């Protein structure tokens, strides 16, 4: 089937929820050896499975959640729970734009590559991707040479600099590496699924490659400028920075 597909959207979320036996991480990158019950599945295992079956990493688009799955009456990851409590539109599921909730502390597990919030007073855990977590996922996309990112779903996102889609898009396009600003003179070979950042369709989007000493496609510049004019989920300053960096650092279209 791979021969007939341009890309595969890997739904790397919903690993745990109220359907689980214990509270767990719903979108962790790696399995946890110190708390294995908290990571029944992992993104790295899924990606390796696809690759082992002959799927090129450049055709794998990493899915990320823009919502959180809640676990009520629990002491945290890997622990028993009782239901999911309330939610934004379904019990136990909260839009990212309302997370973390008042009274909750955002946490990160480096070994599992997972983030969540926990309210000790309410004994409520919510598993979701934080701003920090999506930065690490971008680094994972780059290191594994994956085809980009996609989300479920944009209406749950925050706006401006808090937007997970905006953060990932800025990282992926090459405005800066996660955690540090760079000159980007080293090669940034990363295939990008353009549909994730703009409503406009680009043919052969999986062949867009960023390298040094290349010229930016005037077509893509026009599309990004058009997106800025029509605006929306992503901040304008982010995309103006994107265009400037692409012009300075390179974009090459391979037919």
Instruction: Count helices and strands (H / E) in the chain.
Output: 5, 10
- What's this model's pTM, rounded to 2 decimal places? 0.71
Distance between CA atoms of residues 222 and 28, nearest Å: 36
**Which residues have a Cβ under 8 Å from the Cβ of 183 and sit 6 or more positions away?**
none
DSSP code for 208:
E
Q: Model confidence at 58, in pLDDT bands (50, 70, 90)?
A: confident
Structure tokens at 112: 């599992």
Summarised one tens digit per residue, pLDDT across range 143-196 is 898 888 889 988 898 887 788 887 787 665 543 333 333 322 222 323 233 333
Strand partners, 109: 114
**CATH topology for 16-129?**
Chitinase A; domain 3 (3.10.50)
**Is residue 183 within 8 Å of residue 124, measured between CB atoms?**
no
Write down the domain spans for the chain.
16-129, 158-253
In the chain, DSSP assigns E strands to: 8-10, 60-65, 67-71, 93-95, 105-109, 114-119, 124-127, 148-152, 208-209, 252-253
Residue 15 in contact with residue 42, Cβ under 8 Å?
Answer: yes
More confident residue, 175 or 72: 72
pLDDT band at 3 (very low <50, low <70, confident <90, very high): confident
- Partners of 6 in the β-ladder: none
Tell me which range, 167-171, 208-212, 226-230, 245-249, is most confidently predicted by mean pLDDT.
Answer: 167-171
Return the pLDDT at 172: 56
pLDDT by residue (tens digit) across 108-149?
A: 999 999 999 999 999 999 999 999 999 899 889 988 988 888
Bridge-based pairing state of the strands 60-65 and 8-10: parallel
Pick left, alpha or beta for residue 113 (phi over 0 → left; psi -120 to 50 → alpha; otherwise beta).
left
Between 164-173 and 236-249, two packed helices, what is the crossing angle to 10 degrees?
10
Min mean pLDDT across 5-9, 22-26, 103-107, 176-180 is at: 176-180
CA distance 142 to 151: 17
Residue 80 has pLDDT above 60, yes or no: yes
In degrees, to the nearest 5, what angle opens at C-alpha 247 toward C-alphas 241 and 248?
A: 90
Report the greatest alpha carbon distance in the chain.
57
Whether the pLDDT of residue 92 is over 60: the answer is yes
Element (H, E) at 50: helix 43-52
Among 12-21, 69-78, 179-188, 222-231, name the one with the lowest average pLDDT: 179-188
> Do the Cβ atoms of 174 and 138 come closer than 8 Å?
no
The count of residues in the chain is: 255
Dump pLDDT digits (tens) for 238-249. Answer: 544 554 554 444
Tell me which of 200 and 5 has the higher pLDDT: 5
Q: Contact at 8 Å (CB) between 207 and 233?
A: no
């Amino acid at each position: 089937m791979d021969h007939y597909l341009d890309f595969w959207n890997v739904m790397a979320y919903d690993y745990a929820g109220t359907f689980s036996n214990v509270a767990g991480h719903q979108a962790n990158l790696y399995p946890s050896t110190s708390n294995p019950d908290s990571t029944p599945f992992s993104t790295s295992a899924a990606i390796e499975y696809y690759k082992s079956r002959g799927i090129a990493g450049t055709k794998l688009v990493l899915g990320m959640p823009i919502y959180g799955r809640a676990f009520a009456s629990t002491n945290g990851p890997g622990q028993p729970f009782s239901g999911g409590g309330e939610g934004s539109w379904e019990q136990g599921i909260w839009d990212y734009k309302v997370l973390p909730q008042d009274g909750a502390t955002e946490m990160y597990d480096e070994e599992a590559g997972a983030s969540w919030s926990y309210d000790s007073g309410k004994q409520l855990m919510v598993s979701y991707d934080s701003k920090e977590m999506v930065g690490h996922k971008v680094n994972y996309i780059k290191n594994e040479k994956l085809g980009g990112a996609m989300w479920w779903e944009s209406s749950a996102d925050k706006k401006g600099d808090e937007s997970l889609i905006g953060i990932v898009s800025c990282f992926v396009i090459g405005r800066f590496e996660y955690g540090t600003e760079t000159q980007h003179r080293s090669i940034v070979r990363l295939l990008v699924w353009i549909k994730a950042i703009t409503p406009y369709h680009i043919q052969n989007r999986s062949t867009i490659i960023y390298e040094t000493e290349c010229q930016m496609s005037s077509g893509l510049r026009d599309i990004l400028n058009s997106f800025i004019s029509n605006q929306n989920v992503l901040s304008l300053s982010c995309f103006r920075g994107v265009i400037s960096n692409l012009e300075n650092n390179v974009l090459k279209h391979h037919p």
